[in-house]
Amino acid sequence: MADNKQSANDGGRIPDVIGESVIRLDAREKAIGATQFADDFQFGPGLLYARILRSPHPHALIKKIDVSKAKALPGVKAIVTGDETPGFIGLYLQDRHIFCRDRARYVGDPVAGVAAVDEETAEKALELIEVEYEPLPGVFDPEFGVGPDAPLLHPDLGQYEVVNFVFPKPGTNISNHFKIRRGDADLAWAQCAAIVEKKYRVPHIQHVPIEPHVAVAKWDEGDNITLWGSSQSPFAQRNLIAKALGLSQSKIQVIAPVVGGGFGSKAGVSMEALAVVIAKAVKGRPVKLRLTREEEFFTTFVRQGLVAHFKMGCDKEGRLLAMENTYYWDAGAYTEYGVNMTRAGGYSGTGPYDVPNVKVDSICVYTNHPVGGPMRGFGMPELHSGLEQCVDDLAHHIGIDPVEFRQLNCIRGGDTVATGMTMHPIGLPECIDRVAKDIGWGKKSQPSAPNKRRGKGIAMMWKAPAMPPNAGSSAQITLSEDGTVTVALGGQEIGQGTFTVMAQMAAAALGVPYDWVKVATPVDTKYSPYEWQTVASRLTWSMGNAVVAAAKDARQQILDLAAEAWDEDPDNLDIVNGNVISYKTEESMPLKNMVIYGLPNPKGDGWIGKPVLGRGSFMPTYVTGLDAETGQGPRAVVHYTTGAQAVEVEVDMDTGRVEVLRAAAAFDMGKAINPEMVKAQMEGGLVQGISTALFEALKLKNGVVTNPSFVDYRIATTADVPHELFSEIVEVPQDDGPWGARGIGEHSMVPTIPAVANAIFDAVGIRMESPPYSSEKVYLAMMDAGIVK
């Protein structure tokens, strides 16, 4: 065997224990570049590279595709089109083919895919594919899209497979219409002392994770598929791709390493199925598809746009009497996810307020824009953006302080929400008080210069996990000979700290030190226990319940074994710091070895016990359906996380620049399993919310994204973080959560836009129809209002 020592001049490469292969791979590395060398080392020298030909039209019939010239290009191994993908794919609504067949519905819709020996060859092949299109009129505004003059984008809507809680309207561009009817809003208006009516828009934005979408697929001769992908939803990908291709789910293995940023963009299926279909054409060879940064902006999920109409009124004491809110969701060309966002926007359409008379229409509209999908907050940042500004205006109109108005009207435990569900105990009033105190509400601050004005704003929020009623979690606990613990689970780590929290829960429930516990990675659908998806801020609650159940299962097996060995009642035993102890006899025994080999039979013959394997699962079986016409039902959601944010801003009167100086966030997450991580989520979400309030928007012109790069699409940096940040933890336990915990990951981004908007209004007295509140937009609004000249 070769010497395994690393020489001084080998540049830190792989030790030469693998012999001559190092020399051969080094030579290949010089020829093809370091990136492809790394790919070859992981997936083998047979790895192919894929690129996608995309529609340049927002809406067009595909009349003809000629791939003959591209196929003749040296290095091209396969070309696929919609002919290979007759099936439909989608999570809640199956409304798209993996590759376009008869028509393209947005700029970027995948028309053909190429597999070649390298990306450069694949790109050249795309240029040789000839496609004949027949451009069609487009829909670029959701309000226009629901009208009679709009072209029909999905003529076959009535034939699509859809879940039973989504209500498409065949013959229209409406893929879901969710309604709430409570009390009688029409009669209530006459009783109102003050009424506010406003229209607000929220633009599309991009998630912009630092790591772009990337997937590697291999389809072997036995029709077994392995998919490696940066994914929040490995089990959902397995299921959806299998159904679309007519395969058994057991034929697909999805391996999902740690994700380099997701925020919802890597949930469900976006580009991963493309790689799988291309791999089918080159069986036995893995195919890698990596999106460019430009593609990332408009060919994967974007946060959908919203046009919202609000009407709300209160009595002379300031108590809300009625709301009538209509939401037109610009969900893009395909709405497999948009339909559920629309549903969430419907049942949460009043915001966290106690309102006796409610009329809400939440409408999902097909447009020829990029595909709307899940993003941090799942429709709640968009919904609250305008709603919380209207609440402020109503408070001012009736002459009540905005903080007092929210305290008077906010939802509390025991109240009946708009869907008829009884609200569980929450700490929203305390959240409001804390953020108001943190920023010195009611005290006017002096600006830093004569040409600047300061203002303070507040907003509150609620959000439920937007998921089907049967979204399940499962977990397994195994122990090694030395007593250390491995937790197997199917939820994904996307930077939110879920692996840390699951290890904490397992350690606490089992009775071992935290540093004895590790989480098995990567998530692999062939070996990992099932998890619906890493979305909806549900893992601490749902997967946490499964992990605790698995740990308790393992714990009980250990206690039963010790009880038999000691001839004791298991109820008198405990596991503390990795040792089984008896409160009756004060005996103690370490977990080492017994959890694998068992213990000697106290009767003298043989052994007792077995290798310990804990299993746990959880599903919220108590969520009920809602009436399609009224939205009423006993329990619409599993729970709500509530909270509030307050900010202080300074507006430059010469330039319109808005700077957030101080910001406070308070959320009731039931129980903070890891308080430092909770605070990090609250702070990170607030900064991301500031980014969407001040900077971010996809600029769309006739369906074309005109700013698909970081040159023209700005996101917040450390320079934009407020000088002072306050993060307040409020804990009112959830009855079905582990240690009372609820989620907090998405919620911290929800109220930021309206909090900033309300602070700008407090500073200079202007309202703008839509974020972002850029320097130019603010300055022009001040000019229109006659504040500056």
Q: What's the confidence (pLDDT) of residue 766?
A: 98
Report yes or no on 405 lying in a domain. yes
746 among known catalytic residues? yes
Calculate mean pLDDT across residues 692-713.
Answer: 98
Calculate mean pLDDT across residues 725-730.
Answer: 98
Q: What's the confidence (pLDDT) of residue 775?
A: 98
**Residue 13: pLDDT over 50:** no
* Domain limits for position 661: 305-467+625-784
Calculate mean pLDDT across residues 577-595.
Answer: 97
Could you report the per-residue pLDDT of 104-153, keeping only the tens digit for each?
999 999 999 999 999 999 999 999 999 999 999 999 999 999 999 999 99
33 — pLDDT class (breaks 50, 70, 90): low
37 — pLDDT class (breaks 50, 70, 90): low
Could you report the per-residue pLDDT of 595-610, keeping only the tens digit for each?
999 999 998 889 999 9
| CB burial of residue 243 (10 Å; 0-12, 13-18, 19+) | middle
Q: What's the confidence (pLDDT) of residue 22?
A: 32
Same domain membership, residue 733 and residue 719: yes
Same domain membership, residue 763 and residue 634: yes
34 — pLDDT class (breaks 50, 70, 90): low
Report yes or no on 299 lying in a domain. no
Same domain membership, residue 708 and residue 734: yes
State how far the Cα of 136 lies from the Cα of 59, in Å rounded to an integer: 5
CATH of residue 113's domain is: 3.90.1170.50
81 closest CA partner among 93, 94, 68, 95: 68
Q: What's the confidence (pLDDT) of residue 10?
A: 31
State how far the Cα of 334 lies from the Cα of 90, in Å rounded to an integer: 9
| CB burial of residue 475 (10 Å; 0-12, 13-18, 19+) | buried
State how far the Cα of 415 lies from the Cα of 655, in Å rounded to an integer: 46
**Residue 467: pLDDT over 80:** yes
Report yes or no on 546 lying in a domain. yes
Domain boundary among 618, 651, 682: 618
CA distances (Å), origin 99, targets 136, 401, 530: 19, 54, 28
Question: Which DSSP state fits 414?
Answer: T
pTM for the full model?
Answer: 0.94
Given a contact cutoff of 8 angstroms between Cβ atoms, the answer to whether 491 and 547 are in contact is no
38 — pLDDT class (breaks 50, 70, 90): low
Give one word for 204, left, alpha or beta, with left for phi > 0 and alpha for psi -120 to 50.
beta
User: Tokens representing 395?
Assistant: 């408070």
Report yes or no on 21 lying in a domain. no
Could you report the per-residue pLDDT of 508-558, keeping only the tens digit for each?
999 999 999 999 999 999 999 999 999 999 999 999 999 999 999 999 999
Q: What's the confidence (pLDDT) of residue 36?
A: 65
Same domain membership, residue 411 and residue 327: yes
Q: What is the mean pLDDT of the chain?
A: 94
Report yes or no on 789 lying in a domain. no
Domain boundary among 600, 618, 636: 618
Given a contact cutoff of 8 angstroms between Cβ atoms, the answer to whether 759 and 456 are in contact is yes
39 — pLDDT class (breaks 50, 70, 90): confident
pLDDT above 90 coverage of the chain, percent: 94
Calculate mean pLDDT across residues 707-735.
Answer: 97
Q: Please tell me which residue in 648, 746, 769, 776 is annotated as part of the active site.
A: 746
**Residue 765: pLDDT over 80:** yes
Of residues 30 and 160, the one with the higher pLDDT is 160
State how far the Cα of 328 lies from the Cα of 145, in Å rounded to an integer: 9
Same domain membership, residue 639 and residue 540: no
Calculate mean pLDDT across residues 42-59.
Answer: 95
Count other Cβ atoms within 10 Å, centred on residue 157.
21
Poorest-pLDDT segment among 24-28, 96-100, 167-171, 316-320: 24-28
Report yes or no on 183 lying in a domain. no
Given a contact cutoff of 8 angstroms between Cβ atoms, the answer to whether 785 and 724 are in contact is no
DSSP secondary structure letters along 26-93: HHHHHHH-HHHHHHHHHH-TT-EEEEEEE-SSSSEEEEEEE-HHHHTSTTEEEEEEGGG--S-B-SSB
- The neighbouring-strand residues paired with 652 are 452
Same domain membership, residue 587 and residue 599: yes
Same domain membership, residue 486 and residue 455: no
Calculate mean pLDDT across residues 183-201.
Answer: 98
Q: What's the confidence (pLDDT) of residue 35?
A: 61
Given a contact cutoff of 8 angstroms between Cβ atoms, the answer to whether 478 and 488 are in contact is yes
User: Tokens representing 320?
Assistant: 């809300």
Same domain membership, residue 761 and residue 658: yes
**Burial profile 670-698: b = 16 or more Cβ within 10 angstroms, e = fewer:** bbbbbeebbbbbbbbbbbbbbbbbbbbbb
pLDDT above 70 coverage of the chain, percent: 95
| CB burial of residue 710 (10 Å; 0-12, 13-18, 19+) | exposed
Given a contact cutoff of 8 angstroms between Cβ atoms, the answer to whether 431 and 643 are in contact is yes
- The neighbouring-strand residues paired with 198 are 310
21 — pLDDT class (breaks 50, 70, 90): very low
Report yes or no on 300 lying in a domain. no
Q: What's the confidence (pLDDT) of residue 44?
A: 81
Same domain membership, residue 587 and residue 657: no
Same domain membership, residue 411 and residue 363: yes
Could you report the per-residue pLDDT of 232-252, keeping only the tens digit for each?
999 999 999 999 999 999 999
CATH of residue 566's domain is: 3.30.365.10
Same domain membership, residue 534 and residue 456: no
Same domain membership, residue 639 and residue 557: no
Could you report the per-residue pLDDT of 376-395, keeping only the tens digit for each?
999 999 999 999 999 999 99
Calculate mean pLDDT across residues 318-343.
Answer: 98
Report yes or no on 152 lying in a domain. no
Q: Going by DSSP bridges, is the β-strand pair 357-366/320-332 parallel, antiparallel, or unpaired?
A: parallel
Helix (H) or strand (E) holding 241: helix 234-245
State how far the Cα of 164 lies from the Cα of 112, in Å rounded to an integer: 33
Place of tokens 């336990």: 733
Could you report the per-residue pLDDT of 469-523, keeping only the tens digit for each?
999 999 999 999 999 999 999 999 999 999 999 999 999 999 999 999 999 999 9
Q: What's the confidence (pLDDT) of residue 45?
A: 85
Domain boundary among 618, 638, 671: 618
Q: How many domains does the structure of the chain reveal? A: 3
DSSP secondary structure letters along 426-449: --HHHHHHHHHHHTTTT-PPPPSS
